[in-house]
Amino acid sequence: MNTSFAEQTKVEFERFAPDWSITVFDCIDSTMNASRALMSTEDTKLPHCVIAGEQDAGRGRDGRIWTSSPGGFYATYMVSAAADGARLSGFSLMVGATIANLFEKYGLKIQLKWPNDLMSADGKKLGGILIETVPRAKETLLLIGIGINFDNPIDSATMSSVRSLGAASVQREEWGAELATMLEHALLDFVQQGLRAELGRWSKRDFLLGKSVEIESGDKIITGIADGISSLGALRIVTSLGIEEIWSGHITKVAHR
């Protein structure tokens, strides 16, 4: 008998992340929206993960749509951090590093494209991270949204998937449960010591490092050579005027030198 996605996800969370509560949907508009609704209507116990087999209004960064057909991985991990939002600003880079560490355990090497893209070595997008924060009296609630192409159909010209990369042994239900526990540890590490523990590994996986880039940041367009990330998570760019640190922005062009 085939086990359903929801049943298998519950089994794997009991095995790998027993302190997490979870809500599983076969289909939902967006796990981000569902997480917010859970937080406002119920006394949901944290940490909590909302996970869906498919989304019909998945949200990407900068208001983009995140296409979420069956077979992909779509989850929002809700955790509480004893820190204010400003101190957590570089945490999305830590999430990317944690995802890369987990894939590496399965023999899959991925790259990280500042700020929040997960890439295969051939420069195609494998997944993305969307983090939203909800300030509370003495803590910050983090909604860590993660979308990864696993077995879903993709446009292979621009995207890759866990399956297209040949990582046949990774199952999304188990992978998602293992990630929950790793994210909790990553958050504790980040609150105590920022990106320090992951900076070296982030650099080795830095997709933009040494490439010629163009970035839209606010009303500015910055061009130069990517020179890694700072210890606080800014992207360093060598421009004709010297080094600039970019805290938020959107990469509009990337070229090999």
Closest CB to ligand BTN among 38 and 225? 38
Among 237, 233, 241, residue whose Cα is nearest residue 252: 237
For 21: left if phi > 0, alpha if psi spans -120 to 50, otherwise beta; the answer is: beta
Closest CB to ligand BTN among 67 and 171? 67
Q: According to CB under 6 A, which one of 15, 19, 27, 64 is a site residue for ligand BTN?
A: 64
Q: What 8-state DSSP symbol labels residue 85?
A: G
Nearest residue to ligand BTN on Cβ basis: 128
Q: Which of residues 31-50 bind ligand BTN (CB under 6 A)?
A: 31-32
Minimal distance in Å, beta carbon 76 to ligand BTN?
5
* The amino acid at 159: M
Residue 91 lies near ligand BTN (rule: CB under 6 A): no
Residue 59 lies near ligand BTN (rule: CB under 6 A): yes
Sign of torsion, CA 38 44 48 49? negative
Q: 63: Cβ–Cβ under 8 A, 6 or more apart, which residues?
A: none
Minimal distance in Å, beta carbon 128 to ligand BTN?
2
Q: According to CB under 6 A, which one of 9, 23, 76, 140 is a site residue for ligand BTN?
A: 76
Contact 193, 87 (CB under 8 A): no
Residue 58 lies near ligand BTN (rule: CB under 6 A): yes
Q: According to CB under 6 A, which one of 75, 159, 179, 246 is a site residue for ligand BTN?
A: 75
Closest CB to ligand BTN among 146 and 224? 146
Q: According to CB under 6 A, which one of 145, 176, 194, 249 is a site residue for ligand BTN?
A: 145
Helix orientation angle between 5-16 and 172-193, rounded to the nearest 10 degrees: 40
Q: How far apart are CA 28 and CA 158, in angstroms?
A: 26
Three-state SS at 237: strand
Three-state SS at 250: strand
Point out which residues bind ligand BTN (CB under 6 A): 30-32, 55, 58-61, 64, 66, 74-76, 116-117, 128-130, 145-147
